[in-house]
Amino acid sequence: MKRFKIHILVIISIILSYTQNSTCQTFDEYFIDRTLRIDYIFSGDAQNQKISLDKLNTIPGWYGKKQKLAQVPVEGNGQITVRAHKSNNVIYKHSFSTLFQEWLSYDEAKTTSRSFENVFLIPMPKDTVDITIDLYNNRREKSTSFTHIVNPNDILIRHIGEHDRTPYRVIQQAEDTTKCIHIAFVAEGYTKGEMNVFHNDVNTAIEAIFNHEPFKSRRNSFNIVAVEAVSKESGTSKPSKGIWKNTALHSHFDTFYSDRYLTTLNIKELHDCLAGIPYEHIIILTNTNEYGGGGILNSYVLSMTHHKQFQPVVVHEFGHSFGGLADEYAYEQEQIPMYPHDIEPWEPNITTLKNFHGKWENMIKTGTPIPTPESRDVNIIQNRIGLFEGAGYSLKGVYRGMQDCRMRTNENPEFCIICRKALNDLIDFYTK
């Protein structure tokens, strides 16, 4: 019996060793150090959506994750899944959100069909793969799915980013460039003669972001470049005022008829100007003094630069695009029901209490009332963790963890404890 137990332990040890080694070798087993950029068109209306393949491109270098390839740290409103064609094993997965899905919640989508560009980056596979795009609605139900096959030897995969790259500067080099988070700041609405202004704005944004925890303590985990995309005209478009500018990314205010919503719909142009540059996360700085911006999970941040609220806004929007954090403010009249009260949001910093387990429940002191009453006492505001009603645009039924946070107001000087933990966990996911 004793000898049998020893044999079992030896077998278990061998299996564990093989599993650990195969996990470490997963990237090299399935991928090479290049990027496969896949361009899609998402189209449809509130009732029916369609995903279509547009183009395939390959770019030198891969700057995304090389470990935990089949895991996602946050669920997102969509996911891209890569499977080995021969075995059907999942070899890569990534989550995202899109402007298209947000548009579907507006009244226009009830009567009109529109199309939106979307671009996703995956490591270049060594062999044929099956790639699936899944989109989810606000009830976390799959709304549409599309699968296609990619043969890496396809002669029509376009090679880009090997010559004539957009000029860029390395602003900050990570301590370990093999396990870091790559950020590219991109100029929008800056002419050739305004590039010094752009670089000053980049420095302002970087200091704003890295003045906040946990970014401050984890600064050496980030590799940062500034990309000099030159615009023919200075500024950005303001359709409500009849102003249309010829800029590098054709950004504009009034997205979905919201005057402060500053975005670009030209996603392929954005990635064209980044081809051959080390990047994964994107922060677009727009040369305007009008208030506005936007942040979309694993897509981009877009922020104005010359308004007095530039620094808190770019930090807040980075919380969306990088961290997958939800807005913690609420409207008196909620026009868009983003978070049904009978569904638990996937975002880590808000809850409807339908499946609160695993969020910040263990951080709440026993006896804390629910909903947790707000206070005017500064010490209580800064330290009390609870369940404060009013978040995710809803006054009722959606809760945040603290009274105030960078994800709630521009006036609050920091991310709350709940958001800091979520961001720290995310940095760990990408770098450890």
pLDDT mean over 118-144: 97
What percentage of the chain exceeds 90 in pLDDT?
A: 90
4 pLDDT more than 60: no
- Per-residue pLDDT of 180-207, as tens digits, reads 999 999 999 999 999 999 999 999 999 9
147, part of any domain: yes
338, part of any domain: no
Asked if 173 and 231 sit in the same domain, the reply is yes
What confidence score (pLDDT) does residue 334 get?
62
Asked if 151 and 182 sit in the same domain, the reply is no
> CB 54: neighbour CB atoms within 10 A?
12
Asked if 382 and 308 sit in the same domain, the reply is no
Asked if 358 and 307 sit in the same domain, the reply is no
- Per-residue pLDDT of 248-259, as tens digits, reads 999 999 999 999
Distance CA 7, CA 140 (A): 47
Burial (CB count <10 Å: 0-12, 13-18, 19+), residue 141:
exposed
Burial (CB count <10 Å: 0-12, 13-18, 19+), residue 34:
middle
Under a CB-based contact definition with an 8 Å cutoff, are residues 225 and 277 in contact? yes
Domain boundary among 128, 159, 190: 159
What confidence score (pLDDT) does residue 379 get?
82
Asked if 107 and 86 sit in the same domain, the reply is yes
Asked if 205 and 229 sit in the same domain, the reply is yes
- Per-residue pLDDT of 32-61, as tens digits, reads 999 999 999 999 999 999 999 999 999 999
Under a CB-based contact definition with an 8 Å cutoff, are residues 187 and 229 in contact? yes
What confidence score (pLDDT) does residue 145 get?
98
Asked if 43 and 107 sit in the same domain, the reply is yes
CATH of the domain at 239: 3.40.390.10
Q: Which domain holds residue 358?
A: 350-431
15, part of any domain: no
99, part of any domain: yes
pTM recorded for the entire structure? 0.93
302 pLDDT more than 70: yes
Under a CB-based contact definition with an 8 Å cutoff, are residues 149 and 85 in contact? yes
Domain boundary among 270, 290, 314: 314
80 pLDDT more than 80: yes
Contact residues for 189 (Cβ-Cβ < 8 A; gap 6+): 231, 233, 234, 235, 236, 245, 247, 248, 251, 286, 287, 288
Asked if 155 and 51 sit in the same domain, the reply is yes
12, part of any domain: no
Asked if 266 and 172 sit in the same domain, the reply is yes
Contact residues for 242 (Cβ-Cβ < 8 A; gap 6+): none
pLDDT mean over 329-336: 78
8 pLDDT more than 70: no
Asked if 136 and 174 sit in the same domain, the reply is no
CATH of the domain at 99: 2.60.40.3250
Domain boundary among 159, 180, 196: 159
Asked if 221 and 176 sit in the same domain, the reply is yes
Under a CB-based contact definition with an 8 Å cutoff, are residues 80 and 96 in contact? yes
366, part of any domain: yes
| C-alpha distances out from residue 378 to 308, 366, 386, 399, 404, Å | 25, 21, 16, 20, 11
If one counts the domains in the chain, the total is 3
What confidence score (pLDDT) does residue 3 get?
46
Distance CA 264, CA 195 (A): 20
10, part of any domain: no
386, part of any domain: yes
Under a CB-based contact definition with an 8 Å cutoff, are residues 138 and 339 in contact? yes
Asked if 223 and 257 sit in the same domain, the reply is yes
